[in-house]
Structure 1
Amino acid sequence: MASALSPPRVPKPKPKPKGALPSHYHESFLEKKGPRDQDYRKFWAGLRGLTLYFYKSNRDSQHVEKLDLGTFVKFMDEAPWGSAQDPGIHFSLVLRNQEVKFKVESLESREMWKGFILTVLELRVPSNLTLLPGHLYMMAEALAKEEARRALEAPSCFMKVSRVEAQLLLERYPECGNLLLRPSGDGAAGVSVTTRQMLNGTPVIRHYKVKHEGPKYVIDVEEPFSCASLDAVVDYFVSNTKKALVPFLLDDDYEKVLVLPPGRPVILKPKRLAKVQAKPPKPPVMPKPEPRGLNGGPARKPAGSSAQALFPTTGLGDVTAELEEKLQRRRALEHSAGRAGDQRAHLGAKPSSQK
């Protein structure tokens, strides 16, 4: 009898070797001169996301410097120097707060770097550069990777809460920050920013709309400002308030359940899952209901019961001497009242027996 067909074996992916080079959209040698540098320094550079990473060599896995491209303004090209001392091709990357100069070995290398950087910033393959079809194909692959990365990545201060919930979070937990991103309340494609600041001793709550227009996020302020990512939106508010605004960030292993005015709980989950307890916690001990007598009143306690038996779940330990004395006095009164009642019942029974 023929045996059932087994599914084909799929080879397991090989584990990435320890210390392996990180994957980049584009990488090559690049000479860099920052605002504080006296001369150019040569690095192995790699572009990943909106960040340029710089390594000592192409064998290193740990970068020594990095440059955030979220504040990009423009490129500036310099004419080839063409001298024997410096035959390189120069261009500048102008950011909002600095200008960084680069030097490469050829015009092709310069156009490649500009093309990949513009691709991740504008989320489109540039058409105004001198590039070969193979280069354009590589940039299209980088574009797909960047779009997938952004779809899965959001700033740590982004939370799926309403306008009121965002305001309450900032009010109740000021130690976690005072700036929060949330989905736009009007249902449009975009987000909103909620901030809380103390002005002259009074807390002031403000809300800002951020419209998603193509690859850009436009902040609706007096002079609309466009950003390449939500991280750049957060950086805009932080830098323009000189770090007075701090992104709202929950601590690790932190979880709270908030019941807000709409009546629905908002569960704030920590960034890292807490460890599962080995044993479930014991349920809290609740005080037992007081036993009732036949006439609906409290049942009498036995004369020989101890004070500890009267408080079985309080966890207060021994009862003080004063409470013990009051307890004995109460028992004596109950005992006397019981004897008096028996006597009255006995006296009341006599006339009914006489005819």
Structure 2
Amino acid sequence: MSVHPRVVYKRRETITALPLYYSGDLLKKQSKEKDFKKYYGELRGATLFLYKDDTQDTYTEKLDLEQLKSMELDSPNQRKSATIFNLTLHTDDVQLKLDNPDTGEEWKGYILTVIKKEIPNKMQLLPGQLLQLQEVLAQEKRRNPPTPRPPLPPRPSFLASPSASASPSPPKANPEVPACFFNVNRQEAERMLEANPEYGSMILRPSTLANNYALTLRQLMPSGPVMKNYRVTSINTGFVIELDTAVTVSSLNDVLKYFIEKTEYRLHPYMSSQPYDTCIDASPAPKCISITSPTPKTVPKAQVAPMLRSKTKDELLPPPTKPEESEYVVPDAHDDHQLKLGQLDGELREVLKLRREIIYSAADEDEAYENQTSKKSHSSAAQWATKTAE
């Protein structure tokens, strides 16, 4: 025995307190399923409850339409007997099929009215159906009144205002700006991500609205890369990511972290490539000490006249030159040979000089001896001549 629909309706009300806006038969298929399955659907609030049939008092599954990203009509330019909607949710993609195109248009109107909180334009509905949508919209607004947003703070000083006011407000302290922040507009950011995908997939940029930021993403989808832009509002306590369900974070780096985690680390901040050097400059050769010509040293003058004495062989040789600290000497066989030749030449010159001095001194002594001998002989001859004369 089938249960009366009113009894079933009362039992369903005990499950949820959400108001019933629309109901009817439909077909549903998820992305992993091959065939459509028949259900009886009820749109209660922003949730679509699915039953096996209209006599079942407990739902089989439900779809949270508040997570709806987009709702598109499959082959909108073709007139078919059935209407298929593609619903893109955060978790999965779902297709809804309505055998009657008029019923499909009603489902579309109710879903979009509940989600967007406004009656969609260009709906092919009768005046009575539009009036029902207005009642649904009023009831939904009473049930979920829009929360007023806090006033926007002054625009940061490092972002130039598009129109400078006569009395500017005091600037706010500059937040910590991530490395992927670029002072570009939406078109330039998308062009940068498209031209250099290897640099990253997220660019933080100033928004066209004062005191706001924007995040441009290049996300790889099964159909290809897709560009997306999100607004980030600056508030006194942090930043608000303007999503269907707003998310508040404390810094711009947390904004990037939120998107990275939500996409399972498939997105990365855009970091432009830094230039690299392509040539190697030869460093100058280390400074060497010239051994053959040592640096002359300043000898202090003596306060008294030095005594003259003959030089020994050790004193004749030049003192060995020691390399100064923190300098390098490059050994070379040719330089050693030149050094030995220079030392031998110096020793030979000193020996010859000493030899000449000895020879000259001996000659002087012989000459002096001869002079003395000659004088003695003359004096002796004179004395002998004197004695002889006497």
Which structure has the bigger radius of gyration? Answer: 2
Structure with a larger share of its residues in strand:
1
TM over 0.5: no
TM-score, scaled to structure 1 = 0.39
